[in-house]
Amino acid sequence: MKCGSLHTEDGGLAVTVRRTETAWERTRGLLGSPAPGRGQGLLIAPCNSVHTMGMSYALDVVFINRLWRVVKVVHVLSPWRFTAALGARFTLEMAGGEADRLGFAAGRLLRWEEVSCKSGQ
């Protein structure tokens, strides 16, 4: 996995993330992992749909296009559900409620910044 952060267009930090690099990482997603912490998430690429089959907690899902613009936000997607967004290239999964807390909304422009992964991330 890669590590990084997504920033808002004004340069503020939105969320720190782990970013998938392999098909296996994309397939597994957060399955079998504890819920992401406050201000943390998993960025899956390429990805325009997700499911919460087998999950034990709800997720906020943010769909982002190739230009890093938010195209859709799904709030508190319960376990055993599915969602998708046409035109999405990236999917950000966070704990339920984080999208509202951090101010994610359709149309918001983001910027990816890769950083070195610390051990344990």
pLDDT at 13 over 80: no
Q: Would you kindly state where each structural domain of the chain is located, as residue ranges?
A: 2-112
pLDDT at 97 over 60: yes
The CATH class given to the 2-112 domain equals mainly beta
| Residues 24-58 pLDDT 10s | 999 899 998 999 999 999 999 999 999 999 999 99
Distance between CA atoms of 71 and 81, rounded to whole angstroms? Answer: 19
Cα dihedral: 95, 16, 26, 75 (round 10): 30
The residue type found at 41 is G
Mean pLDDT, residues 12-18 taken together: 87
CB 90 within 8 A of CB 43: yes
pLDDT band at 119 (very low <50, low <70, confident <90, very high): low
Check residue 89 and give its pLDDT: 98
pLDDT band at 14 (very low <50, low <70, confident <90, very high): confident
pLDDT band at 12 (very low <50, low <70, confident <90, very high): confident
pLDDT at 120 over 70: no
